[in-house]
Amino acid sequence: MSIAVAIDGPAGAGKSTIARAAAKELGFIYVDTGALYRSIGLNAIRKGVDLTDAKAIEASLAGLKVELSFDAQGAQIVLLNDEDVSSFIRTPEVSMSASKVSAVPAVRAFLLDLQRNMAKTQSVIMDGRDIGTVVLPNAEVKIFLTASPEIRAKRRFDELIEKGEDVKYEDVLADVIQRDYNDSHREIAPLKPAEDSKLADTSGLTLEESIQLIINIIKENTK
């Protein structure tokens, strides 16, 4: 029987790093659903779509093909009309665009089956904002992973600096706060813990401790 683990939480809580490591340890497939919204955000930027115009965002989906595949190491690859866009979707500009397009109901509907199908035949750890509430409401384990905005901004800032991006901490923090607001105040599938989710706050934990915490929660709840 396949097992589904839903991990939701705000931007920069370390969901992807922690979920990826836990999936590796447990032999599950790791699905990063934020990458799907990012690919739609990238497509909208490339097409010059007005990101304040929900109708224009919806129209940008016409004829669009988004697929997920995995490389030999199990790393996720996002294909946008057959192009591997994985390396173009991590910029601050795409982050903000992804947050905007993800508030459009047609975008969420467009990605729903793709996400659900991933969990049908294999054990998955899927991370996002609405996995436990909307995408996989029957997931065996639901975790709401969070940390304070300042700590999340510091982590993202360090990541971007390491990649050679020219960013200021204050701007990253403002982005985190703005995206938290967008993600939790949108009408459709807002970011909120599922009623039956376990809360995991990683503010005072190292990465290793956070990974272990998540693995323990999953093991305890799938015995």
Residue numbers at the binding site for ligand DC (CB under 6 A):
11, 33-34, 37-38, 95, 98-99, 102, 128-131, 179, 183
CB of 39 to ligand DC, least distance (A): 10
Closest CB to ligand DC among residues 24, 116: 116
Give the span between the Cα atoms of 85 and 82, in whole angstroms: 9
Longest dimension (CA), the chain: 50
Smallest separation (angstroms) from ligand DC to the CB of 166: 20
| CA dist., res. 187 & res. 185, Å (int) | 6
Cα(118)–Cα(169) distance, integer angstroms: 36
Q: Which among 35, 42, 6 is positioned nearest to 144, based on CA atoms? A: 6
Q: How far is the CB of 223 from ligand DC (least distance, A)?
A: 27
Cβ at position 190, least distance to ligand DC in Å: 9
Pairing status of strand 83-84 against strand 76-80: antiparallel
Comparing CB distances to ligand DC, the nearer of 19 and 218 is: 19
Q: Is 17 helix (H, G, I), strand (E, B) or coil?
A: helix
Q: From CA 50, how far away is CA 54, in angstroms rounded?
A: 8
Nearer to ligand DC, 158 or 220 (CB): 158
Nearer to ligand DC, 128 or 213 (CB): 128
CB atoms within 10 A of CB 20: 18
Q: Which is nearer to ligand DC, 86 or 218 (CB)?
A: 86
Nearest approach, Cβ of residue 97 and ligand DC (Å): 9
The angle that helices 169-185 and 149-162 make with each other, rounded to 10 degrees, is: 120
